[in-house]
Amino acid sequence: MILFKPENVALVLSGRKTQTRRRWQRRRMLPGSIHQARTRLFGEPFASIRVQRVWREPLGTISDADAIAEGYPGREEFAAAFARINGDVPPDEVVWCVEFALMPVGE
């Protein structure tokens, strides 16, 4: 299972959000694994996603292409949203990056 903010549901379902960055202490997903996407821990899933790739990078090194894959127009908008959701995070903090694909219904 992976949790998303309600504001990201439409982005995930439309395929505009295909990456997410997390402040995990350790890797929680492996490429090829399938997870339910939810907005609450015990809520109903709104989608299933297949993990394509998992890597680590400093938060501040996100590219414009990756910010767009996060569902934002660019790096500045992504940084503002990440700060709103996670609080002040130094740009040199290394985060987990997960690239995923929306699974078709019934798979």
In the chain, where are the structural domains located? 2-102
Q: How many residues does the chain have?
A: 107
Residue 39 is given by DSSP the state S
Interatomic CA distance for residues 104 and 24, integer angstroms? 27
Residue 92 is given by DSSP the state T
CB-based contact 68:33 (threshold 8 Å): no
- Look at residue 81 and give its three-state secondary structure: helix
| Whole-number pLDDT of residue 35 | 97
Burial bucket for residue 89 (CB in 10 Å: 0-12, 13-18, 19+): middle
pLDDT of the chain, 107 residues: tens digit per residue: 999 999 999 999 999 999 999 999 999 999 999 999 999 999 999 999 999 999 999 999 999 999 999 999 999 999 999 999 999 999 999 999 999 999 976 55
Residue 102: strand pairing partners: 49
> What CATH number should be reported for the domain whose range is 2-102?
3.10.400.10
Q: Which residue has the tokens 């940084």?
A: 79
Interatomic CA distance for residues 97 and 55, integer angstroms? 5
Give Cα separations from 92 to 41, 83, 89 (angstroms).
Answer: 29, 14, 8
| Whole-number pLDDT of residue 24 | 96
